[in-house]
Chains A and B, each alone.
Chain A
């Protein structure tokens, strides 16, 4: 087998050196009646060519985003990623390295994590960021638990503008931890009164901006009410590119900022792996979950980086840890930080503006289709359409015409009276032709 360096001769010599007659002698602790004597009934080994054929056949059954006019967002976004990014993350020394527990020989990983943390803190307008969570949804769940520890309360108030699957993650975690969640009804118009839901029992308020439905939410009054009640504001985003144009949550009073970093550097990949971003204020640092990379010096007084404050983490604190997280999203952080470094402030701002303009043009084009209504006044690169009839059927008919036109809200929120809504995203990859084709097809299918 091409991955196994040991030959039959090697194996025989090694068994002899160990002093056992056969390999199964080393499995002596396995109960004899449980040790398998036959191969498990699955296919035998294959060469590269055969595997490529099998996998290629499966891949070919899917419709890649790049092959069609593409407008699906709702938590994952189709952006162009520079070729440099994918090349660099495949450097052996990055790709095949472990968590940097031996800092003397993993300064490469540690330095990019330090740079990543700085970029995330700067983007979100916060003081400190960690070295990543799994994705935006799990980061949101962790932020709620963190807020509970900080406030010693256990009720989260969740906005109806939060991504429904993020809400489900928070609800599941809270249900299992026996904490409370007050989830407001879905808010497709962006008009909910969340202030009324915040009381002195509230640990945290979870608000997404731009919301799942694309609305830009002014966080400052929510932060003010939360703080007056002794609660924390958790600000969530699913489209990190929006931070290139929108006032960062940290400057609107957020206490913990979490979000999805996929848009920068990472492929759509059918939902993962992505990279969860998490930032907070310095004073909350000790309750933050996840790895942190810090600057220090070595024995010759040269600058270097190490994983630090690990007394928060499971491998030291076990059942008293801030989280059970161990493996995070290392390589996705690298992709993020490389892409962000290539962009810089100037590139990010331009990318954000292109996305915003793509959405403006799309909203105008689709809003002109008879019977179709755009629900948003303000938005970044995503908005909600109301269509006559069943949105899910409209999305299917569009797909039959080769246009992936967005997400029918009813797919994630069935039975909630939202059957005529589509969440649509526009990015820099869309062309005028894509938009025209969408408008034309939409007019034809409704």
Chain B
């Protein structure tokens, strides 16, 4: 086998390293037919190569003063065919929703319609500048206003701040609006109640604006106890941050009572909308007493996750928080959208707390989300939520006799949570179980989250799976569980065996971080002499 500098990684003729499955014989290149090892661009590119043909400059005298670059950056170039091959090969070592079921609980990996990609690329959307004259972009304002209107109607809320760039940024926006509202009342409240089952972004967001987090314990049935909330409320409490449906996949049955108690104590109800996809068209957060909720357009409304972004996190606001919505925002003036970008443009009653980002938000995600909503319609959106909930409960019904349900007393919503109780005494961990799913061609479920159960496995199949697909998934997990119980430990502890990589050494990565490519040092003294 050769490594990426063309050097053998073991002496010629030596046996494959221990742990290499006997079924995968040695090859000269290290490749496996369609699975091809791809070097880094720094190992194949050359600084003098370029894949972009640009005209020659005229040679005008530069006007850069003393700040002209003294040495060119060392960036390799690839020609178009080389670049095409590099990135296509890289893509082939990725799992994706287009290639298989992606049951990551809380992350909502549903189908990404390509119509939405096409719409986002219309030049009238993709090729307009955020600061070109407003008179030349009325259609862009229409998109923002229309999407905002859909979001308000679907959530039963009064206003929406469109600019936040992703879910966590939306949380920050909502919490800033709450802080601004509290300040406007002349009060200081610095405590935020956060259930143990919350996403990590919730406490991190509260801390960013100088608030202290107070944990709300979970009840034995996985829900939040209104009495526990009441006991924690006081004049120092600014808000509760509650995910509903919660991260155990359960709709909080006492949510309305919790909201009432929170409001009675002078605090606000921030809802983490990560799981809104379970309830669209079924129940409106505004009817439950929510004051602010971000909506992950990349979850509920299916803008592609893109390997970790971009997202978009508009925040819907109650009438109590609406006046504090940040710049920019769109005001409807006799039905016509008006863009407000600065304090100077505000009307009486509009007291924005500031600005979250330059420009107007994730327009490219807005066009995709709007195309998704227009396609689904109010009936299709409700059907999507119902099918997502149906699929999760179907998976649950297929596995409940073999895997451990920590909270059997409530129906699941769009995702079902198991813990690792069924693996007790097998010597197999949640991580091992997940890695064995990879060998079966599945992306693992969310693992070790939420933190309220041991060895969590959170499965979200979404509405995009056919019944046949769900049946095969359930059958596969059943086979894995039975195999674990039979003591076929290696199937798990050695997994994944068939993925582009075996398990990676994360400890080594963290202990001596190597975060960029460096030119290789000479291998031997003789080589250095060359």
Contacts of A92 in B (CB 8 A): 91, 96-99
Interface pair A17/B63, CB less than 8 Å apart:
no
Contacts of A379 in B (CB 8 A): 63
Residues A42 and B153 in contact in the complex (CB < 8 Å), given A319-B213, A320-B207: yes
Q: B64, B96, B133, B176: which contacts A246 (Cβ < 8 A)?
A: B64
Contacts of A270 in B (CB 8 A): 125, 128-130, 137, 140, 359-360, 363-364
Q: A6, A46, A97, A104: which contacts B375 (Cβ < 8 A)?
A: A46
Complex-state Cα separation, A62 to B304, whole angstroms: 25
Residues A78 and B129 in contact in the complex (CB < 8 Å), given A23-B386, A247-B67, A343-B77: yes
Residues A96 and B304 in contact in the complex (CB < 8 Å), given A62-B139, A112-B90, A323-B204: yes
Contacts of A28 in B (CB 8 A): 411
Flag A294-318 by CB within 8 Å of B: 1 or 0 each.
Answer: 1111111111111011010111111
| CB proximity to B under 8 Å, residues A1-55 | 1-6, 10-11, 13-15, 17-20, 23, 25-31, 34-36, 39-48, 50-52, 54-55
Interface pair B64/A268, CB less than 8 Å apart:
no
Q: Which residue of B lies closest to A40 (CB)?
A: B378
Contacts of A343 in B (CB 8 A): 50-52, 75, 77
Residues A271 and B438 in contact in the complex (CB < 8 Å), given A135-B165, A325-B168: no
Contacts of A95 in B (CB 8 A): 96, 98, 112, 117, 304, 306
Interface pair A327/B172, CB less than 8 Å apart:
no
Interface pair A137/B308, CB less than 8 Å apart:
no
Q: Which residue of B lies closest to A19 (CB)?
A: B397
CB distance from A331 to the nearest CB of B (A): 3
A105 within 8 A of B: yes
Interface pair A396/B133, CB less than 8 Å apart:
yes
Q: A109, A138, A272, A296: which contacts B508 (Cβ < 8 A)?
A: A296
B473 within 8 A of A: no
Which of A117-125, A194-202, A226-234, A365-373 contacts its partner?
A: A117-125
Interface of B, secondary structure class, is loop
Q: Which residue of A lies closest to B143 (CB)?
A: A58
| CB proximity to B under 8 Å, residues A418-446 | 428
CB distance from B361 to the nearest CB of A (A): 6
Which of B228-236, B279-287, B417-425, B521-529 contacts its partner?
A: B279-287
B491 within 8 A of A: no
Residues A52 and B115 in contact in the complex (CB < 8 Å), given A293-B515, A308-B509: yes
Q: Which residue of B lies closest to A346 (CB)?
A: B50
Q: B45, B203, B356, B361: which contacts A271 (Cβ < 8 A)?
A: B361
Interface pair A299/B503, CB less than 8 Å apart:
yes
Interface pair B113/A3, CB less than 8 Å apart:
yes
B185 within 8 A of A: no
CB distance from B267 to the nearest CB of A (A): 17
Contacts of A134 in B (CB 8 A): 165-166, 169, 309-310, 357
Interface pair A271/B501, CB less than 8 Å apart:
no
B38 within 8 A of A: yes
| CB proximity to A under 8 Å, residues B53-68 | 54-58, 60, 62-68
Contacts of B153 in A (CB 8 A): 40-42
A88 within 8 A of B: yes
Interface pair A299/B502, CB less than 8 Å apart:
yes
Interface pair A115/B133, CB less than 8 Å apart:
no
Q: Which residue of B lies closest to A308 (CB)?
A: B509
CB distance from B388 to the nearest CB of A (A): 10
Contacts of A189 in B (CB 8 A): none
Flag A196-224 by CB within 8 Å of B: 1 or 0 each.
Answer: 00000000000001000000101000000
Interface size class of B (residues with CB under 8 A): 35 or more
Q: B63, B80, B374: which contacts A51 (Cβ < 8 A)?
A: B374
| CB proximity to A under 8 Å, residues B462-481 | 463-467, 469
B516 within 8 A of A: yes
Interface pair B311/A407, CB less than 8 Å apart:
no
Contacts of A147 in B (CB 8 A): none
Contacts of B298 in A (CB 8 A): 327
Residues A67 and B123 in contact in the complex (CB < 8 Å), given A105-B499, A270-B130: yes
Residues A297 and B505 in contact in the complex (CB < 8 Å), given A95-B304, A344-B51, A346-B50: yes
B154 within 8 A of A: yes
Flag B348-378 by CB within 8 Å of A: 1 or 0 each.
Answer: 0000011111111111110100110011111
A388 within 8 A of B: no
CB distance from A301 to the nearest CB of B (A): 6
| CB proximity to A under 8 Å, residues B385-400 | 386-387, 389-391, 393-394, 396-398
Contacts of B27 in A (CB 8 A): none
Contacts of A18 in B (CB 8 A): 390, 393-394, 396-397
A172 within 8 A of B: yes
Interface pair B200/A65, CB less than 8 Å apart:
no
Residues A306 and B504 in contact in the complex (CB < 8 Å), given A31-B256, A51-B371, A62-B139: yes
B435 within 8 A of A: yes
| CB proximity to A under 8 Å, residues B132-180 | 132-133, 135-140, 142-143, 146, 150, 153-154, 165-169, 171-172, 176, 179
Contacts of A386 in B (CB 8 A): none
Other A-B contacts than A47-B375, A134-B165, A396-B135, 18 sampled, CB-CB below 8 A, are: A18-B396, A31-B253, A42-B153, A51-B119, A82-B80, A100-B308, A108-B90, A108-B307, A245-B68, A270-B137, A272-B364, A296-B504, A308-B510, A320-B207, A327-B305, A327-B311, A354-B54, A357-B58
Q: Which 9 A-B pairs give the minimum distances between C-beta atoms?
A: A344-B77, A271-B359, A59-B124, A172-B354, A331-B306, A271-B130, A61-B139, A273-B310, A330-B308
A-B contact pairs, 5 of them (CB 8 A): A3-B376, A165-B357, A168-B354, A303-B4, A327-B311
